[in-house]
Amino acid sequence: MSTKQTNTYVFYGFPSSLYSAKVRSYLIKQQIDFVERTCGDPRYLQGVVPQIGRVIAPVLETPDGELVQDTTYIIDFLEERETPRHPAYPTTPRQLAVSHALNLFGSEGLLRPAMHYRWNVDGGNSEFIEGEFKRTLATGMPPEMQAEVFRYFAGAMRAQMAQSGCAPTDGPRIEAVYKEFLELLDTHLQSSPYLLGGVPTIADYALIGPLRAHLGRDPMPSQLMKTTAPWVYRWVERMYMPSHDAGEYLDYPEELFAGDAIPPTLQALLKFAGEETTAETVAQVAFLDDWLAEHPEISEGDVLQYEMDARFIGTVTTPYRGGTLETGVLPYRLLQVQRLQDAVEAIDPARAAEVREEFGEWGLAPLLEARPRRRMEREANREVWGGEQEAWVPGGVAGLAV
């Protein structure tokens, strides 16, 4: 067996998968040798699913056969195991905290436009998505079985969409907010090839998920992006190139913004992220704390139930863009909130105070404090409840300004 084959990872995902797009981009940009197989491949269904214990994407299989699941944890695993060309996590405090905040926003805050434009808007989307799902989730199956697989997954995705605040009646509001986001990101990318300068970070990998898999490939939203936000579309292309691919920026150095800087255009994007995610996320944390109080039988190490058709444990209603927004409570979001909090708490106290002050200016400060009475951890590719901690939820959650 050649050295190349020995060092090759196997990546199980599919092109229209939001979270697959995040990991795939990382593998490409870091020039890590991998082969991709679909989740309809018999090797996934017969070999991976029994070990992981659920049908989920993406999954990374290492050259020695170890399986790693979950986008963020796959990236963390590779950051430790490989020698990344450009580490995903900045080493300076402001940029590190911002990259974690944008990781949360990209993973959770962009679900609404991603799901809305895929499942509520046609414009050529319907036939495209049906074909995508049949080819990659029912690979090689007879047509009638492919149709059955598509109906199942489409139904599950539509149920998840409803829990993401994507009721068809919310369409005009979602589309207006998404166009605002595209304008902000397009303006920022006119001055730098990536979110934090000349190299991608976890912030870029988080945003590429929805902006590539859903909003940059599905026919209708990809056309919207090309015609209204060309710098964003070029960034989407760039995130799938192993090279710097930034000729239009002339000799832009492959390094982060100097001096731990967060330029005004990125600050404007962070304020937008605060409006989109803070109230909803804090309300979900508060719900989780109440839910844990009602379930004293839960112990450290207990595995969270996680089924495609039963991922949410309740709903919360929060103020949103002059109205209200009802969303499902997904416990997994707590992991991303904790990562942000842990990163800031590990910073030198004086610098951490500066970061907290800036997060307040961007409407993100409550994300640094809100926590339920138990942590959440990952063990053996599953979410488990962690140890007890002091709960804290900002007062007047329902009245958070958005």
CA pair distance 59, 240, nearest whole angstrom: 19
Query: For 315-337, what is the mean pLDDT?
Result: 90
Sequence-ordered strand ranges (E) for 238-344: 315-320, 323-328
Percent of the chain with pLDDT over 70: 95
86 in helix, strand or coil?
Answer: coil
Q: Exposed, middle or buried, 348 (CB in 10 Å: 0-12/13-18/19+)?
A: exposed
| Pair 318, 324: CB distance under 8 Å | yes
pLDDT at 396: 43
Task: Specify the DSSP class assigned to residue 303.
Answer: B
Phi, psi torsion values for 351, nearest 5 degrees: -70, -35
pLDDT at 115 over 70: yes
pLDDT at 170 over 90: no
pLDDT digits (tens, 9 = 90+) for 284-307: 999 999 999 999 999 999 998 655
- Per DSSP bridges, beta strands 9-13 and 34-38 are parallel
Domains parsed from the chain with CATH numbers: 3-81 (3.40.30.10), 93-260 (1.20.1050.10), 266-399 (no CATH)
